[in-house]
Amino acid sequence: MLPFPKLQWKALDEIDAGVCDGMTYKQIAREMPEEFAARKQDKLRYRYPAGESYLDVVQRLEPVITEIERERECVVIVSHQAVLRAVLGYFMVSCLPRMPPTHC
């Protein structure tokens, strides 16, 4: 057990992949080639059908980031890739186009 309080925030949930939830990128490429191509062209703004975009995730994270900035102690964040990329991008460079790259 870690010796500090643990908080859970719904805002740290993984990106909502909508109708693609549970599918691999390989499956999306095969079954939904137009969606796969659209995501590949602009990952930041691409919104999954009935789901979210990275920009949606960033907006969802604003209250969490505000709380993290207020914290005077070290913070550990346990979440998913899209969420962690957005948080890391904010604290590293505070510039969306420079968010750390993803290879998936």
What range defines the domain where residue 66 resides?
21-98
Residue 56 within a domain: yes
Residue 27 within a domain: yes
Residue 10 within a domain: no
Q: Is the model's pTM score more than 0.85?
A: no
Residue 9 within a domain: no
If one compares 94 and 63, the residue with the highest pLDDT of the two is 63
CB 87 within 8 A of CB 65: yes
CB 68 within 8 A of CB 76: no
Residue 8 within a domain: no
The total of structural domains in the chain comes to: 1
Residue 30 within a domain: yes
pLDDT, tens digit (0-9, with 9 covering 90-100), for 3-39: 878 889 999 999 999 999 999 999 999 999 999 999 9
Residue 88 within a domain: yes
Residue 7 within a domain: no
Residue 14 token pair = 């993984």
